Amino acid sequence: DAKTTQPNSMESNEEEPVHLPCNHSTISGTDYIHWYRQLPSQGPEYVIHGLTSNVNNRMASLAIAEDRKSSTLILHRATLRDAAVYYCIRPDKLVFGAGTILRVKS
């Protein structure tokens, strides 16, 4: 099964860090994990991806568990513009789960 598992929704306060988890227990050793986010009425936007090591970019950080069966997207300081649906997917399978709706409170 190529689907990943994420919590339905999460809430954060503005300027605080957010940790969005994803379970991908069926992942194999060569499968990357990608994260995308989608604002209402827009196409998804790439956030970050990784294979084994933790990754950082200007948008977020990605922490990948040692057994690679889970990962966590970290937004270091949430802003109102980060409110979106966040998806973790395996790009070779192109299967989107329900994603996590992130709500950011001011």
Partner 1 sequence: GAVVSQHPSWVICKSGTSVKIECRSLDFQATTMFWYRQFPKQSLMLMATSNEGSKATYEQGVEKDKFLINHASLTLSTLTVTSAHPEDSSFYICSARLAGLLSGELFFGEGSRLTVL
- Residues within the interface to partner 1 (CB under 8 A): 31-32, 34, 36, 41-46, 49, 87, 91-92, 94-99
Q: Cβ closer to partner 1: 73 or 87?
A: 87
In terms of Cα–Cα distance, which of 78, 96, 76, 77 is closest to 36?
96
Distance CA 77, CA 68 (A): 25
Smallest separation, CB 16 to partner 1 (Å): 27
Distance CA 62, CA 49 (A): 7
Smallest separation, CB 88 to partner 1 (Å): 12
Q: Cβ closer to partner 1: 15 or 45?
A: 45
Distance CA 92, CA 106 (A): 37
Q: Cβ closer to partner 1: 57 or 79?
A: 57
